[in-house]
Amino acid sequence: MKMIAPTLLLALTVGASAGAVQASETAAARSPLPAADCIDTTQINEWHIVDARTAIVRTGPKRYLVTLQSACPRLGMAPAGLMFRPNRSNAAVNRGHICGEVGETVRSHNQPPCAIESISKIDKTRFDEMSARAKRHGSGADQPTAVPAH
């Protein structure tokens, strides 16, 4: 009986540690960008759909990796377009910028919205490597100029 208690305690400690690490990684993935680094949707020069859960976006010299919460296989399909929508609290305050916060989405014309899991800045080399593998691409010319009211 004395052997079971230390073994059980060790197992519980290891399990709790693993859970804490996973929670920490989840929180890090959901850390929104600082306001100065957010995607300004009015300045998108180009976008690329790398796979069903990954898009990359360029706004002038800034490049971003956009990861979706789940697969969105029709994103960027004809008619080509990629439209970002901020969450309700940032629609007016943040002038429609996308920072990787809860409630932000991206969609294509006549497609349902896809929830954004995270956004991070990437360098030119990684952007170029990912864009070379992209399935679909386009310019930012089809971004809505005003954020629609709900």
- Domain boundaries along the sequence of the chain: 1-30, 35-142
* Residue 48: closest CA among 84, 97, 82, 99: 82
Using pLDDT thresholds of 50, 70 and 90, give the confidence band for residue 17.
very low
Q: In the Cβ-directed half-sphere of 119, how many Cα atoms lie within 13 Å?
A: 28
pLDDT reported for residue 69? 96
pLDDT score of 77: 84
Tell me what the pLDDT averaged over the chain comes to: 79
CA–CA distances in Å: residue 150 to residues 25, 88, 98: 32, 8, 17
Strands (E), 43-104: 46-51, 54-59, 62-68, 83-85
According to the model, what pLDDT value does residue 12 have?
A: 39
- Residue 114 predicted with pLDDT over 70: yes
pLDDT confidence tier of residue 10, bands split at 50, 70 and 90: very low
Residue 100: phi and psi, rounded to 5, are 95, 30
Quick one: pLDDT band at residue 111, thresholds 50, 70, 90?
A: confident
Overall average pLDDT of the 1-21 stretch = 45
Nearest to 148 by CA among 107, 101, 99: 107
Q: What is the pLDDT of residue 47?
A: 94
pLDDT of residue 80: 74
What confidence tens digit (pLDDT) does each residue in 54-102 have? 999 999 999 999 999 999 998 988 777 889 998 887 776 777 789 999 9
* Interatomic CA distance for residues 75 and 83, integer angstroms: 10
* pLDDT value of residue 89: 77
